Structures are given as structure tokens and as C-alpha cells.
Amino acid sequence: MDLKQEELALFIEGEWTKSMEMEPVFDKYTGETIACVSTCTKDDVRHAIASAKEAQNHAFAPYDRYRVLKEVSEQLKANQEEFALLLAAEVGKPIAEARGEVGRAVLTLEISAEEAKRIHGMGVPIEAAPDSPNRQAFTRRVPVGVIAAITPFNVPLNLVCHKVGPGLAAGNSVILKPAETTPLCALRLAELFRQAGLPKGRLNVLTGDGPSIGDWLLESEAVKMVTFTGSPKVGKLLREKAGLRKVALELGNNSATIVHADAHLDVAANLVAQKSFNNAGQVCISVQRVFVHETVFTPFLEKLVSSTEGLVVGDPKNEATQVGPMIAEKEAVRIESWVNEAVKEGAKVEVGGKRDGALFTPTILTNVKETMKVCSEEVFGPVVSVLPYSTEDEVIEKVNQSRYGLQAGLFTNSLSFAMKAAEQIEVGGLIVNDTSGYRVDQMPYGGVKQSGTGKEGPRYAIEEMTEERLVVLNL
Ligand code: NAD
């Protein structure tokens, strides 16, 4: 699909509606304009909310939700190369990785379709209460209603599917606001939903300024829930504005992975190299802090450096490329300044550390202090710090010295250490014998501390996106 010069509309009430104002979307490697998207107005937001609310008055049975989601999953698969090229252009994601994201999005929608048929409540044994022998009770899971879904730039297809898929499967109407820099896949996906016969108003896609659209959506009492993936700063703001409404937040992390003395070092080094630099490190569970037992620190570092040196940096549309540009040059400049600051304070660059426009070479740092920004803040770039430790208790404490807690990785063959870590490391998920960066789409995924609240993964997101309603029968 050649999007050059194409002017893309908003998707409201099942139709495409062009706005007066348009904003360009750029290819993140070449800088060329690849499309223009509509800038949504307050009236457009009102229209979307009204259509989403109205859609709730018309039945959309679970089996029909299943059929639409399954059809979109199949159509996405049939058009996977077009979506992968779109991702490579709008995100700057290497084409091989972009294909991986499309494949995962196909599965996320397929799992959501299946889950649409499995939403159920449970029996509640109230007859066991002393004054209720003639009563019975059960719960039902009912849709929340209209959900505002706001998504980040880095995984703009699969993370959209993680909100739209379960949202629709649960019987809600979804108003989606994709990231300003990467809205194209979401718009293309909306067209697949239209073609699959999704009832009008069940999905609306609004492009434009995040803060304005966010405010306009949350001003309306008709919006019953906000599900957000993005930075902790915006997440906190949305929670404040949402008041007593439901909020699901998938936020940042400075993910840790531990390599213990008994780990398989080749496997660990390869996986760490891969999961530190995927999408140029712009992944919320990207490995950022690697704690290595002091007895294997040097051999592990050598292996990690050699796995990293071989990574091909450059044009994301080139089949061989493994690391593409960052989302914007200013982000690469920020990373450069954080690395320079760390070096000034004593850190050593083992490999990488070079910037060329928006490209930043995969970088490994040692002699890092935990107070340095590259360690204590979320880097969200291709920079990993490798630090030594000596005891299990010490490393658990170091991992927990973070205001984040999304996922952590632990390479060890010691069952007792793995179980101790599972008990004591404060995260939403601990991945044993892989890095913090492991994720498949059916698993419960979400963080603690400033990494957010609530879980994604269709089955778990459906729980977030439904209310439990109790029905008591007086017999
Ligand atoms: P961001 O917070 O800048 O933007 C995310 C979305 O929020 C965008 O659509 C943006 O337009 C919108 N937005 C911005 N200001 C808003 C406001 N005031 N009100 C309403 N909406 C607003 O994040 P980003 O730079 O796109 O993404 C990077 C962040 O996302 C990182 O912190 C990363 O860790 C996080 N992330 C988390 C997960 C997860 O699952 N936990 C996954 C991917 C990314």
C-alpha cells in the first residue's frame, strides 16, 4: 500500500469522516511523509462517544463478537506483509520484527475471539447463610459500556489489538486513540473491522492531539473506563481525571534480568542481546539492568558483547537489519546525553554508544552506579547496564530498588533461588531462564508499583473490562 499523499479520516459510527485539519505521519528512517491523518475536534469526540453509547443499545451477541474478531484476525493474517511494511515505516521497526508483531496481533485477536465465547459468572452459595436457606445466587459478567483506549507508539498494532480485542469480546464499545506518531496500523485495522461487519459505533478511532482527546473523552460521563498503555506520567494524569471510573494502566519499567552463577551463559547472553535491543530498546520490558553473579561476570560480558557487536543497525526495510532508528532524533539525543552523563560519572562503554541521527548503536555499559539515569530511569532505548552481585539476597534487593515492577528475568538452574525470587521480587511477572522481555499474548501481563495496575492478555483484560453483577433468587 502506498500511503504517500493519502489523507486518512477518523473512524466514527462505522464510517470514515475527514477532518478539516490534517497532520503528517513520517517514515521514521527516511523522514518522508507517508500519510496525513485527521486532527480530531471536540465535536468529533462527542460524535464518537454518542455513537459508542448508542451501539450499547443494540444486541451484539457473544457468538457474533467471536465471528467478527475471528474474521479480522484472518484478514490481518491475509494482509500481514502490508501491515508489516506499514509498521516498518511508521515505527522504524526492522521488517523481521514487524512481521513478528503482525503475527502476534493475529493471535491476540484470535484469542480474544475465543474468549468472547467463554465469559461467565459463577454460582454463589448464599443458601449456606443462616437466614437464606431458600435463596440461590449467581454472578454474571456484564460489559462496562463505553471504553476509552489510549495506546503508545512502540507496538502500535498488537497493543491496539490488546485493547480492542478484549474490549469488543466483552461486549463493550471502544473509542481508540492511537499514538500521534504511529496511527496508521490502527486506522487500517479499523477498515478490517468495518469490512468484517462490526456493528456501527462499537469501534471508533480518533487521531490527533493526545492531551486534548484524552480530556474530551474523560469529560464525558458516558465513558465508563479508560485503558491506557504508555508513560507513567500520562498514566497518573489519566487516573486523576478518571475519578471513580475503572482504570487499567500498563506503564513503564527499567527491567532487570539476573544471570546467576549456575546459568547457561551462551543462552543467557544471546537472549539478553536480543531482548535489550528489539525495537531499538523501545519495549516496556526491554532488558535494561543485567545483574550478573561476580563469578561469571567476565565470561558473560564477553559473550554479551560479542552477540551485540554482530547486530546490524540501519534501514528497517532491509531484511538484514536488526536494530532500526528510534522514534525521533530527539529521543536518540536524549539517550546519547544519558550515556555521556554516565560515562562522565565513571561508567565504561563496552560496545556502542554512537549516534547517527535517530539511529543509536546497541550499547553495553559497565561500572554503572544504580543512581545513574541509565539505571534508575526507564531508558526506552538500546542501552543495557551490566552490574555484578555476590549473593541471592543482595541481587533481589537490587532488582527491587526500582520504582517500577513490570517483569523481571532470572537465569538459574537452582529451583530454590527461582522460588525465592518468585516470592520476593516485586513484579507482575518473573520469567525463569529467559529475560524480562518474554511475552506471549495469552498470559496475564501487567505491573506493580509505577508500572501500573490491571492485567492485559485477553482473558484477564476481559475481567477488567466487565463488571461482576450478582443475581439473588428468593425461591
Ligand atoms: P506516552 O505516554 O507519551 O503516550 C501514550 C499515549 O498517550 C499516546 O497515544 C499519546 O497521544 C497519549 N497521551 C499523551 N498525553 C496524553 C494526555 N494528557 N491525555 C491522554 N492521552 C495522552 O507514551 P509513549 O511515548 O507513546 O510510549 C512509551 C511509554 O509506554 C513507555 O513508558 C513504555 O514503557 C510504555 N509502554 C508500556 C507498555 C506496557 O504494557 N506496560 C507497553 C508499551 C509501552
- Closest atom of ligand 1 to 253 CA is 34
Q: Is the CB of 216 under 6 A from ligand 1?
A: no
The residue nearest atom 8 of ligand 1, judged by CA position, is 179
Backbone angles phi, psi at 350, to 5 degrees: -80, -35
Give the Å distance between the CA of 155 and the centre of ligand 1: 11
Per-residue pLDDT tens digits for 123-141: 999 999 999 999 999 999 9
Nearest to 260 by CA among 437, 428, 418, 429: 418
- Closest atom of ligand 1 to 213 CA is 20
Q: Is the CB of 444 under 6 A from ligand 1?
A: no
CA atoms within 13 A on the CB side of 362: 27
Nearest to 230 by CA among 368, 378, 347: 378
284 is catalytic: yes
Q: Is the CB of 461 under 6 A from ligand 1?
A: no
Percent of the chain predicted with pLDDT > 70: 99
CA distance 461 to 463: 5
Per-residue pLDDT tens digits for 49-102: 999 999 999 999 999 999 999 999 999 999 999 999 999 999 999 999 999 999
Per-residue pLDDT tens digits for 252-300: 999 999 999 999 999 999 999 999 999 999 999 999 999 999 999 999 9
Instruction: Indicate yes or no: pTM above 0.85.
Output: yes
Is residue 5 scored above 70 in pLDDT?
no
The residue nearest atom 16 of ligand 1, judged by CA position, is 211
Segment (H or E) for 136: strand 135-143
Q: Which long-range contacts (CB under 8 A, 24 or more apart) does 388-393 make?
A: 388/291, 388/292, 388/293, 388/294, 388/297, 389/258, 389/291, 389/292, 389/293, 389/294, 390/293, 390/294, 392/260, 392/417, 392/420, 392/421
The answer for residues whose C-beta is within 8 angstroms of residue 149's C-beta and 6 or more apart is 160, 163, 164, 167, 174, 175, 176, 177, 226, 227, 228
Over range 334-360, report the average pLDDT.
98
Cβ atoms of residues 222 and 45 within 8 Å? no
Per-residue pLDDT tens digits for 387-435: 999 999 999 999 999 999 999 999 999 999 999 999 999 999 999 999 9
**Total residue length of the chain:** 475
Per-residue model confidence (pLDDT) at position 2: 45
Backbone angles phi, psi at 114, to 5 degrees: -60, -45
185 is catalytic: no
- Residue 1: pLDDT band with limits 50, 70, 90: very low
CA distance 353 to 339: 7
Q: Is the CB of 406 under 6 A from ligand 1?
A: yes
Set of cell numbers at residue 127: 443458601
